[in-house]
């Protein structure tokens, strides 16, 4: 069981530690120190829910629903393009880049964006439900559960580490120019992921 747990942890970690829309969002909120705990918790719990569904066997059902994946793909791409435009707008307006002004987003708005980044991204279903779910099938009984718990634990460790670890970069982001660079990078990442979703693999 211990071996299965660490196998799941390593797989989950390798899938989640990448530059993506969700991670970029959490990084920015961490720098602003706005709603960090609840947003990290929502991201981690969402991953745990999807991983649990995959381990329970939902992966095969999702794989058999190409229309569902198509709808999520288009919706996710449109959302990413919209957020990229907002990030670019922030970058073009230096007066809106200070932590005090940029951190005025309400918890409701931040949660809505967080959930959209999570559930409008078809890759999250491919990674958590399909990939983790299918690999967990190589384990049986308690070992399979331990594998899923390990993968979910990696999500908790990553999101909270990213959200609170971002504060170490606070001195760098005391200057508006740093926020401009970050928002430009976020805009590029969001747009690139959106294009990638529409173009598809290959």
pLDDT for res 159 = 94
Residue with the bigger pLDDT between 65 and 180: it is: 180
- pLDDT-derived band at 24, boundaries 50, 70, 90: confident
pLDDT for res 69 = 64
CB 116 within 8 A of CB 79: yes
With 90 as the cut, is the pLDDT of residue 42 above it?
A: yes
Over residues 45-97, the pLDDT tens digits come to 999 999 998 888 765 565 566 776 677 678 778 877 887 888 888 778 754 33
pLDDT for res 150 = 93
pLDDT for res 86 = 82
Domain with 85 in it: 2-199
pLDDT for res 82 = 85
pLDDT for res 154 = 93
pTM above 0.75, yes or no: no
- pLDDT-derived band at 40, boundaries 50, 70, 90: very high
pLDDT for res 39 = 95
pLDDT for res 155 = 93
SS3 sequence of the chain? CHHHHHHHHHHHHHHHCCCCHHHHHHHHHHHHCCCHHHHHHHHHHHHHHHHHHHHCCHHHHHHCCHHHHHHHHHHHHHHHHHHHHHHHHHHCCHHHCCHHHHCCCCHHHHHHHHHHHHHCCHHHHHHHHHHHHHHHCCCCCHHHHHHHHHHHHHHHHHHHHHHHHHHHHCCHHHCHHHHHHHHHHHHHHHHHHHHHHHHCCC
Over residues 99-155, the pLDDT tens digits come to 444 445 688 999 998 998 888 877 777 778 877 777 787 677 888 889 899 999 999
pLDDT for res 72 = 66
Q: What is the mean pLDDT of residues 191-195?
A: 81
With 50 as the cut, is the pLDDT of residue 38 above it?
A: yes
Number of structural domains (the chain) is 1
């Amino acid at each position: 069981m211990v071996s299965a747990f660490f196998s799941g942890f390593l797989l989950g970690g390798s899938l989640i530690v990448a530059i993506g829309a969700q991670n970029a969002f959490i990084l920015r909120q961490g720098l602003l120190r706005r709603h960090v705990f609840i947003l990290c918790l929502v991201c981690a719990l969402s991953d745990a829910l999807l991983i649990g569904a995959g381990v329970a066997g939902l992966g095969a059902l999702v794989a058999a629903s190409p229309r569902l994946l198509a709808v999520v793909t288009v919706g996710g791409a449109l959302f990413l393009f919209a957020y990229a435009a907002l990030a670019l707008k922030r970058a073009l307006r230096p007066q809106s880049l200070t932590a005090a002004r940029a951190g005025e987003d309400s918890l409701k708005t931040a949660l809505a964006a967080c959930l959209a980044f999570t559930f409008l991204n078809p890759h999250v279903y491919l990674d958590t439900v399909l990939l983790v779910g299918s690999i967990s099938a190589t384990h049986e009984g308690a070992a399979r559960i331990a594998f899923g718990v390990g993968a979910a634990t990696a999500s908790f460790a990553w999101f909270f580490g990213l959200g609170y670890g971002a504060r170490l970069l606070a001195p760098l982001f005391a200057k508006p120019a740093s926020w401009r660079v970050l928002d430009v990078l976020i805009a590029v990442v969001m747009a690139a992921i959106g294009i990638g979703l529409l173009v598809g693999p290959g």
